[in-house]
Chain A
Amino acid sequence: MSQLEIKDLHISIGDKPIVKGFTLTIKQGEVHAIMGPNGTGKSTLAKAIAGHPDYTITGGDVLLDGKSVLAMEPDERARAGLFLAFQYPSEIPGVSIANFLRAAVQARMAEGEELDASGYYKRLYAKMDLLKIDRKFTSRSVNEGFSGGEKKRCEILQMAMLEPKVALMDETDSGLDIDALRIVAEGVNAQRSGPSAPGILLITHYQRLLDYIVPDFVHVMYAGRIVKSGDKSLALELEAKGYDWVKKEFAAATA
């Protein structure tokens, strides 16, 4: 059983502390939704765990299957089983989706092992069909000129191809129309079944997504840490009442 343990994590950007004591364990197959106001550190958390060089870990630890990932390079973390679906995926002109994904798949193979090209394309097309991505996209440059929804679907396609142990999904629902949301949710749910289902950290602002990808836990993040946890009904409560009551509770508790 895979799991990701985030232990009392502190993250700074420059001198500025952003994440201040974040603790959470995500077990294989579980979906943890993280909600919270803008600027509270959700993307910072996800990118720092993936190893983005802009962020400094000033305290705590992140363990994947009991092993700290903090000393690893981003690519090592990814090969160890971490996946980040970006809030704002980069555009990479001149690098086709097919070449990019092939490089990512190949990076996971043993030295000297040959990629079975026809098998690779078969798998790729199957996943694309599931996510209703036109096969012509394989020859397009990564994310270049993609609509917001296409970018997000492309993130899920990568997740499907790379089969991570833990996926950190940062606002994968933003920019999606209702049909695209359903397709993306189906794509994620398809990966949730089966023995190699990843643990998922689902960052979102909208309860709507959680109707489609039903979470096991919902956490509220505020001022760099989790301030409240519950089940999916917490998301409904937030949707109805906003964050003010959480902030007040937090202020009262820390006063």
Chain B
Amino acid sequence: MASSISAPTTAATSLTGSFTAEAFAAHLERVKHLPSWWLDRKRAAYARFAALPMPRRTDEGWRFSNLATLTLDGFHLPAAVGRDQLQHRELGVTGAGHLVFANNRLVAHQPLTTAGDRGIIFDTLQNALLQHGDLVKSHLLTQPSKLGSDKFAALHEAFLEDGAFIYVPKGVEAALPVGVFHYACGNGAAVFPHTLVIAEDNAKITVADFFRSDAGSRNFAPGLPLNQFACGGNDLYAGHGAAVTYIAMQDWSRGTLSFQFNATVARRDAKVLSLNLHAGARQARHESFSQLSAPGAHSEMLALTVAHGTQEFDQRTLQIHQAPNTSSNLLYKNALLDAAKTIFSGLIVVDPDAQKTDAYQSNRNLMLSDEAEANSLPGLEIQANDVRCTHGATSARIDREQEFYLESRGIRAAQAQELLVFGFFEEVLGKIEHQELHDILTEIIREKFKQ
């Protein structure tokens, strides 16, 4: 048949979309000064990306996802932009270090200045690749992609140009949080942000990761074609007794197709808290993979989502308990407005020798509209016999008596809803001790109610 003759060429273009072999070659040219092991990995990643099919309806890891709107077409590797085009706003933490990336390139860097922070490396991934190659090699994208996005994870690795590298040596506790900002600027821009955090034994750090579009793209009308593509990742490594707090705020333009992959490794007695706030994008997929690899490790996996309009937020999680006496606590809370859609699919895996595991997984949806749709697929896979694992999912509407109570005090309906959503989120927000970061999270959520 004619169609089978032409199949190879059509398949090749549709499998890579805008991210063609030429685009990859052009990208490699830009990073050719980086170590050869890294370039080899990128080539291998590109080959995987180009060979893997797009997700299919029958893929378990994509149940409920809207596949029709997943596309690799219409994007390009964007040109450099100046800092003045970003309307960039600081972290709001006086003296804190920050790195600002726009269109995959560094545009601003405020190094750490506090004396106690000596020994901490807070730099670009490119500099780290050149100066601390071994460290990067053992931690950058070393965990497998297990949640369904092998193709997009490979795309991320292939086109990753630069990102943040944060290394905290043994016993050092960073005095202040550090901020990493990733901007996508201009129509069609494809960005590949990455943040790598390595906290050695007994080290302590808080990292805030921001994902935003330039002002022009932010005011993107719904209904228009996608205008930006983001395919990012973060690796969080916490050594023995280390404490890592990672707060991500995803606020891409409403025309963005977004992927974000997290891999967390918590070693003996380490504590990792990650909170992802999902506010932006048209369609956003977030995969989070936590490994509790030694006794006493604890991972706190938190997420807040405000979904409105026709936004789709697709969240897939995996908590693997590989050692005894490890604990994990996952709490994903979604507030859904309008005709928005969320998907939560989570799996707790307890390995055979991970006795005394204490694992918790909970997805709670607050439905603010009859047209909104929340899907939950909680799951357990337990191979040890002495464990405590709980999981559950709930969807509830706003309580009418609570709403009336607020309104009976003169609070307008919209404001009452907002208060109730914040009340619903407080269980998560309350865990963020840092006041400024708490305020920023609050502000991003509040902004969504103004739209």
Contact = CB atoms under 8 A, between A and B. Distances in A.
A50 B423 contact: no
Interface string A118-141: 000000000000000000000001
A53 B400 contact: yes
B415 A94 contact: no
B432 interface: no
B422 interface: yes
A178 interface: no
A95 B405 CA distance: 12
A63 interface: no
B409 A162 contact: yes
A244 to B, nearest CB: 34
Nearest to B405: A90
B416 interface: yes
Given A74-B404, A158-B409, A162-B409, A90 B419 contact: no
A228 interface: no
B400 A107 contact: no
A112 to B, nearest CB: 14
B407 to A, nearest CB: 4
A95 B411 contact: no
B223 interface: no
B409 A95 contact: no
A104 B420 CA distance: 14
B413 A73 contact: yes
B430 to A, nearest CB: 8
A77 to B, nearest CB: 8
Contact of A95 (B400, B404, B420): B420
Nearest to B401: A90
A186 B247 CA distance: 48
Given A94-B424, A95-B422, A107-B415, A75 B405 contact: no
Interface stretch (A7-15, A78-86, A205-213): A78-86
Interface residues of B, number: 25
Nearest to A104: B409
A67 interface: no
Interface string B389-425: 0000000000111101111111111011001101111
Given A74-B404, A90-B405, A104 B423 contact: no
Contact of A92 (B405, B410, B425): B405
A51 B410 contact: no
Interface centre among A53, A79, A95, A162 (most CB of B within 10 A): A95
Contacts of B407: 51, 73-75, 78
Given A90-B401, A90-B402, A84 B408 contact: yes
A101 B410 CA distance: 10
Contacts of B413: 73, 75
Interface of B: 399-402, 404-413, 415-416, 419-420, 422-427, 430
15 contacts: A52-B404, A79-B410, A86-B405, A90-B405, A91-B402, A92-B402, A92-B420, A94-B422, A94-B424, A94-B426, A94-B430, A101-B409, A103-B419, A107-B409, A141-B423
Interface of A: 50-53, 73-75, 77-79, 83-84, 86, 89-95, 99-101, 103-104, 107-108, 141-142, 158, 162
The 6 closest A-B pairs by CB, nearest first: A94-B426, A94-B423, A78-B410, A90-B405, A95-B423, A104-B409
